[in-house]
Structures are given as C-alpha cells and as structure tokens.
Amino acid sequence: MSARRIFARPARLAAIVPYVWMVLFFLVPFGFVLKISLSQTAIAQPPYEPVFDLTAGWAALKPAFAALSIDNFSLLASDDIYVFAYVRSLTVAVTATALLLLIGYPIAYGMARLPKRWQAVAMVLVIVPFWTSFLIRIYAWINILQHDGLLNQILLALHLVSQPVVWLSTDSAMYIGIVYSYLPFMILPLYATLAKMEPALEEAASDLGAPPWQVFWLVTFPLSLPGVGAGVLLCFIPIVGEFVIPDLLAGSNSLMIGQTLWLEFFTNKDWPVASAAAIVLLMVLLVPLLLYERLQKRQLEQGR
C-alpha cells in the first residue's frame, strides 16, 4: 500500500469530531428553524406552540402533523411588507455587487500590475481593513456622513453645496457602507486571477495591433471571469441577508429581509414568522450558495 493511502486512514479519522460538531450546530438547527416556521405563534416563553414532541412517542406524531401549518409562509407571500423586503434585498444586493465590481476591478487590476515585491504589500493593505471590525467601519462612516460631519464640512467649505446634505438614513449612505465593507471580498479573488494571468497574452494582443481597450475587453476580462464569479458570489450572498449596514445607514421606511427577520424576532417576538422568513431567504440563496460551494471546492482541491 502506498504511503499516501496509509496516511489517508488516520486523516479521515480527524474528520469525526468536526463532523459531529457541524452536524449538531449547523445542520440540526436548520431542522428547528423548519419546525418552528411551521408552528403557530403563541404568547408564551418560548413564543410558539410546540408542534411535535418526540418524547411523546409515535402515537403523538399524527395529531402533530395535522397541527403543522403553512400559515406563516402564506403570511409572507401575502403581506406586502415581506414581499417588498425580498424584492428590496435582491435589488440592493444586485446594485451593490455591480458597484463593487466596477470599483474593485480597477484596484485589483492595478495591484496585479505592480512589481512583485509591491504586490505583497498591496495585498496586506487590502486585507487589513477586513480584519478590523465590521461594526467599527460602519461607525466610522456615521462619523463622516452625519449632519455636521466631515463630508458636509468639506462640501460646504468648497462651496459645492449651500446647506448640509442629508446623508444618513439614505440609500446612498447604505451603498457607501456596503461597498466599503465588502470591497476586500471583491478585490482579493479578482486580484488572485489577474495576478496569475500570463502577461505575454496581453502583450501579444497589443503587438498584433489591438488598442488598449480591446486588449482589456477581448483578453484580460474574459480570462479574469473565474475571479469575477468568485468575487460576485462572495459579495452578493451575504449582502442579500445583510442586517447591520442597512439598519445603521439606511432609512427605516423600506427594510431589507435581514432587518425584517430581526424585527420579527426581537421586537415583535414572532419566532415562527422570523423562522419562515429565514427559510425563504435560504431558498432564495440556495442556487448561489451551491455555486459558491462548487467554486470553493474546486479552488481548494486543485492542488490534488
């Protein structure tokens, strides 16, 4: 037997503990979300009617199944608040991802063209803000965007505006916050593909007479598509369920689904509806999530 095969057996055993952990704390909880999304709201602690109790045995299962209700889901489909929240979440995520691509691409492209020694420095500089707290970075923008904040002071001093502009509680503030927070997630996968690209390909295209924009559009961009895909998924999926940024920077008159879920759960204490909202959110994200997993797997296992 080869050394590789002998090594594989104990390596497989290493999976046991993390496997059990993930099943217990990642997979099983989804069962509870599903179960509670099908139960009735109750004024109790915890605030829902128990749907089934396994300790009661199989005999109790039949009435339990009869008691399951899809009321929460029909509520989500019929109430405009929820429908709007889903539509808005998707619109915001698509717009923000497009902005991120437009802003992130030139930066990643610039990084990939730096001399090798400087590339490592630039990469660290892009990663460091990702390590700093998410909440703090949003707070930093509240400082700048508030009524008498730095941005308005600069605009007033330059006589670009005559009165302070309202930035906070607007969609522009939210988009600034999202772009700011997710930019490293867009830049890094783009940079990774751009840096691996063979420079001779671009040089060949331009030697054959292609103007720079054509070199970019016909050679560079198509070759960077795997990075574009990774960056888009890495930003789009979490933005759809984003809570903190819209909550702190956007106005409260149109909510995203993450905010609705939070509101139902913490303010209205309606756990069944919150659970149903989570299930629908998961369904919406299922396809992008599966795409992302395939991508991640291919990337991590290509060395094999």
Contact by Cβ (8 Å): 109, 193: no
How many beta carbons lie within 10 A of that of residue 108, not counting itself? 27
Rounded Cα distance, 86 and 98, in Å: 18
Q: Does residue 159 belong to the site contacting another protein (CB under 8 A)?
A: no
Distance of closest approach, residue 98 Cβ to another protein, in angstroms:
17
How many beta carbons lie within 10 A of that of residue 35, not counting itself? 16
Q: Does residue 75 belong to the site contacting another protein (CB under 8 A)?
A: no
The binder of another protein chosen from 244, 251, 254, 269 (CB under 8 A): 244
Rounded Cα distance, 176 and 184, in Å: 14
Q: Does residue 186 belong to the site contacting another protein (CB under 8 A)?
A: no
Sole window of 20-28, 61-69, 80-88, 219-227 interacting with another protein (rule: CB under 8 A): 20-28
Q: Does residue 214 belong to the site contacting another protein (CB under 8 A)?
A: no
What is the DSSP code string of 169-229?
A: TSHHHHHHHHHHHHHHHHHHHHHHHHHHS-HHHHHHHHHTT--HHHHIIIIIHHHTHHHHH
Residues 45-74 that bind another protein (CB under 8 A): 46
Tell me which residue of 223, 233, 205, 234 sits closest to 112, measured CA to CA: 223
Structure tokens belonging to residue 168: 């906070």
Residues 267-286 that bind another protein (CB under 8 A): 271, 274-275, 278, 281-282, 285
Sole window of 62-70, 80-88, 218-226, 229-237 interacting with another protein (rule: CB under 8 A): 229-237
The binder of another protein chosen from 58, 66, 163, 266 (CB under 8 A): 266
The binder of another protein chosen from 71, 84, 248, 251 (CB under 8 A): 248
Residues 95-154 that bind another protein (CB under 8 A): 103, 106-107, 109-111, 113-115, 122-137, 139-144, 146, 148-150, 153
Q: Does residue 250 belong to the site contacting another protein (CB under 8 A)?
A: no
Distance of closest approach, residue 62 Cβ to another protein, in angstroms:
21
Distance of closest approach, residue 147 Cβ to another protein, in angstroms:
9
Contact by Cβ (8 Å): 55, 64: no
Distance of closest approach, residue 85 Cβ to another protein, in angstroms:
12
Q: State the amino acid at position 245 in one-letter form.
A: I
Distance of closest approach, residue 251 Cβ to another protein, in angstroms:
14
Residue 217, strand partner residues: none
Matching residue, tokens 């460091």:
128
Contact by Cβ (8 Å): 189, 269: no
